[in-house]
Amino acid sequence: MPKIVDKLQKRQDIALSSTELFVEKGFHKLTVSEVALNAHVAKGTIYEYFESKEDIVFAIIEYAQKAYDDEVLTNINNTQSIKEKVSALFSLCIAKDSEAIKRRKIYKEFIAIVLDEASDEMIKFQQDIKNKYTNWLKDILLQGIKDKKLKPEVLEFADGLFAMAEGVLMFSHIQNYFDENILQLHIDALFKLIQIGDDKK
């Protein structure tokens, strides 16, 4: 009896097994042959699950983003202060551990594809990320306003803070382009302006 293959699971397995290869090679140097070799399947088998190299990379990015989103929400829910929640939301731009560095590289490669040869699906994916994170940020800030810990004007900074985070991500690979702590410093300075009374949390 032929083995029944879960195509969605196999697609995910191939994409996840190729993540480190993608981080090492980047989009332009990565080949489908390398993906197949790394996943221990024939090159022709790859095309049973993906339409193109772009499709493979998009899958890698989708799975990486989903894992990161879950982690961010957990960290937000496990922190108490508003400022800590905002910092947790932007941890991709702030953290210095090897996992954060890897994720930044994946995201930068994705942005490069979006700017160069994006499909409508990729553009929508990028817009969805922006909308999701700005909405999470606004939810955090609205709770601070409701609890009378933040000034209502803080909402005017939400889109700009996200734009700054995007800039940090895009240029973080250029040495000395930004102070490596620039986003955290900006968040700290912002909270000095928008917190009410003596609450510095």
Sequence length of the chain is 201
pLDDT at residue 29 above 70?
yes
pLDDT of residue 1: 44
Mean pLDDT value across residues 1-24: 83
Lowest mean pLDDT among 28-32, 62-66, 173-177: 173-177
For the ranges 1-5, 28-32, 59-63, 99-103, which has the lowest average pLDDT? 1-5
Q: Is 6 inside any structural domain?
A: no
CATH code for the domain in which residue 162 is found = 1.10.357
**Residue 84 falls inside a structural domain:** yes
What residues are paired with 163 via a beta bridge?
A: none
What's the rounded Cα separation, in Å, for the pair 9 and 23?
22
Residue 199 within a domain: no
Answer yes or no: is pLDDT of 200 > 60: no
**What's the mean per-residue pLDDT of the chain?**
87
- Is residue 48 domain-resident? no
Whether 46 is covered by a domain: the verdict is no
Q: Is the residue at 11 inside a domain?
A: no
pLDDT (tens digit per residue) in 90-132: 998 888 888 888 888 888 888 888 887 767 888 899 899 999 9
Domains of the chain: total: 1
Tell me the three state secondary structure of residue 195.
strand
The pTM score is: 0.84
C-alpha distances (whole Å) from 166 to each of 43, 85, 101, 171, 172 are: 35, 18, 15, 9, 10
In a domain, 12, yes or no: no
d(CA 140, CA 154): 11
Mean of pLDDT values over 69-84: 93
pLDDT at 132: 94
Domain assignment present for 24: no
Two structure tokens written together for 116: 């160069």
Full domain range(s) for residue 96: 54-194
